[in-house]
Structure 1
């Protein structure tokens, strides 16, 4: 999962040559990384791990960034096809996330500049934000196939304004046929119309 953090928050994580990062990575079995710094006020925080461990990492970071008594805002970067599932029909899924986590959730309606990402802002204390990220991550797991199906080339948000384009997702098709048919295909005697193929299983 990806989060938009301020330069000040990023510097807090990186103090003492990344000691905080190493401690969190070891104790929670996650991978933390930050986008390169080019003078912009925001940076992207990448957290790789299970839904539970990633959400626990956010809870731990929020406790570092705040006093855990004042509501704190976490900004999640959500690809648009997944944001549709996070919000749900007329906001029903977003309302369920609020009920389960206790965090206030607001989904931005517009994409970020030059990107297919939208911001999901969760506001609350560390425990509620932990739960909000956890339940959002579960939605990611359930619908991650949508990323390649609807957006074969996603453009992730980069604070400096540089767009990073992912490599297109490649699909492989298996054609089942007898040896005679295969030989005729090799010789060019037959052509396959992929629009008329039947998918089985």
Structure 2
């Protein structure tokens, strides 16, 4: 199912049938969860103690969706699970107390173009947390950047100018502060004269 085509002013290309995941919808949402609190229990922080919050995992899974309407849109609900660790630090920076494997969950419903036959992909692409000691507990605010896609595997007829060839990799850039959405794709390379 391929055919060579010559168009005036363009290089020769062929049409090829490829099987790919087609993106039906692609969106992001910044979500803040406030006052997620943990009792200090037997931990007795010293005066001037601070809290270090470490998010160890953040997952997002589709749990339900409504029947798509006439335009193909549906309410899709995701379950989000965040696991984290808290460290109570003395003024000199030493760890006084540590709380591991803490967790909170919530659901989020998003309207997506998700006709019958599509599936979803949900990712927490960046996250941050800030905590304070308030009385007998540690209370935290969490910021999550959620990216959601609805997709289906389809066959497309596309023009092809040949196979892709790799270029030399660029050096890793330092990560910026928390941004939602973050930079999702690297910048396109400037082509070298005389090559594709």
Q: TM-score if structure 2 supplies the norm length? A: 0.19
Q: Whose strand proportion is higher, 1 or 2?
A: 2
Structure (1/2) with the larger helix percentage = 1
**Bigger CA radius of gyration:** 2
Greater relative contact order (CA < 8 Å, ≥ 6 in sequence): 2
TM-score calculated relative to the size of structure 1 = 0.18
